[in-house]
Amino acid sequence: MTQALQEPTERVTLTFQVLLGLASASALLAIMVVLSVLIPVQVAQVDPAAAATNLALVLPLGAFGALIGNPLGGALSDRTTSRLGRRRPWIVIGALATAAGLFILAISQTIVGLALGWFIVQFFGNMLMAAHSAIVPDRVPVFQRGATQAILGLISPLMMIGGAFYLGRVTDFRVGYGVVIAVLLVCNALFVAWYREPRLLPGAMPPLRLAAFLASFWINPRRQPNFALVWLVWLFLWTGYIFGSGGFLFLYVQNVVGYAAHFPGHTVQEAMSQIQIVQTAVGVPVMMLAALLSDRLQRRKPFLVAGALLVIAGLVGLTVSASWGIVLAATTVIGIGFRFFFSLGQAMATQILPSAADRGKDLGVLNIASTVPQIILPGIGAALLNALGLGAPVGYAILFLAGALCITFGMIPVRFIRGVH
């Protein structure tokens, strides 16, 4: 077997973990923080009365880009025979194209422009993240994956705290996007310049044929039962999480909590920034401890279940009261739970990938489970909120409780996953 496809056994260095963490964090900054802090505000400024409807147009289009970009980027990088290696060329392409999409968002003042820019950011940003994700099973031995995911999970939130704090107070979107673009390009350039990976020899992989490529995205539950179960768990967890984050949470804080009315001189944009900061400040130390324990005990499932239960508790908490203190506490619990299942769920997934040759594509297929809800849910949520009224608490309560129910269902398949404790 060519060196590029062998199971890694050599320990990775802290420098590797930190530089990969910075590159990965910059991609999340460009997608997650922009989604939480900037996109809802920009969409609402175009037409405040149609904010829910317009979010239901912009967000699914971006999610569709992610749906295609992540598995496509993973599959293409799996077969890349460049002298630079399999992943580095796609990090360069992904970073440059994502920066172009962010630039379009910065100058757009229409829903069409925002939708186009967001599609480009999601499509190429997910290509970029597919390359980042595949490097972990490529180079990190199993006994270091929990700790590596923890370090990645430490750096990403710290960068997102800084990004959320800054973007929550920026008055000129163009300047804010300029900073995000600079961070994205610099962090990925540093990693590409330092990282070395073995070249995949020509002929080591079968030629990429369209029919076979499309067929490879089907997960056969009989042949790959563990991967199919993990995919199902991922689908339910992400569905539940999305119900309590992003555009829905923004509208809830704006229209039900009435943040701007309770805190004159402050904006909902600042409230979303504050949520991100508190989630990170509390969630990161807890997640780091959990990851170290997970590696030491070689157990993933208990921590995945704990994270899911925390998200459920937070979603239920959002239905208890619309006071800002309760909302901040509930979203903090959601953030802690999300970091548990995202970091340690990723570590678990890398241990049951069907093929070493298709690590990038398989992780991209897993990512489909997180993007499908982003395509479907905004339309459903917008229809419900528009029907009941953007200021009616009952509409949001239905969404939050539906999310908790989805996560509960997602816990059922965990016990049947084999090969991971």
| 295-329 tens-digit pLDDT | 777 777 787 888 889 999 999 999 988 899 999 99
Domain span at 274: 8-198+221-416
To the nearest whole percent, how much of the chain has pLDDT over 70?
Answer: 89
In a domain, 378, yes or no: yes
Backbone φ, ψ for residue 79 (5° rounding): -105, 5
Q: Please report, for residues 72, 229, 406, the alpha-carbon distance to residue 181 in angstroms, rounded to integers and kept in the order given.
A: 23, 37, 35
Angle (CA) 50 53 55, round 5°: 105
Q: What domain count does the chain have?
A: 1
In a domain, 411, yes or no: yes
Q: How large is the angle between the packed helices 225-243 and 301-320, nearest 10 degrees? A: 20
Tens of pLDDT along 345-380?
676 766 766 666 666 677 777 777 777 787 777 778
In a domain, 207, yes or no: no
Both structure tokens of 64: 């569709």
User: CB-based burial of residue 367 (10 Å sphere; 0-12 exposed, 13-18 middle, 19+ buried)?
Assistant: buried
In a domain, 32, yes or no: yes
In a domain, 67, yes or no: yes
Rounded to whole angstroms, the Cα distance separating 204 from 224 reads 23
In a domain, 73, yes or no: yes
What pLDDT is recorded for position 241?
85
pLDDT at 1 over 60: no
User: CB-based burial of residue 286 (10 Å sphere; 0-12 exposed, 13-18 middle, 19+ buried)?
Assistant: middle
**Average pLDDT for residues 178-189, to the nearest whole number?**
95
To the nearest whole percent, how much of the chain has pLDDT over 90?
Answer: 24
Average pLDDT, the chain: 83
Assign residue 234 the CATH number of its domain: 1.20.1250.20
Tens of pLDDT along 219-255?
677 777 777 888 888 888 888 888 777 567 888 998 8
In a domain, 204, yes or no: no
Rounded to whole angstroms, the Cα distance separating 337 from 304 reads 9
Nearest to 41 by CA among 184, 239, 253: 253
In a domain, 44, yes or no: yes
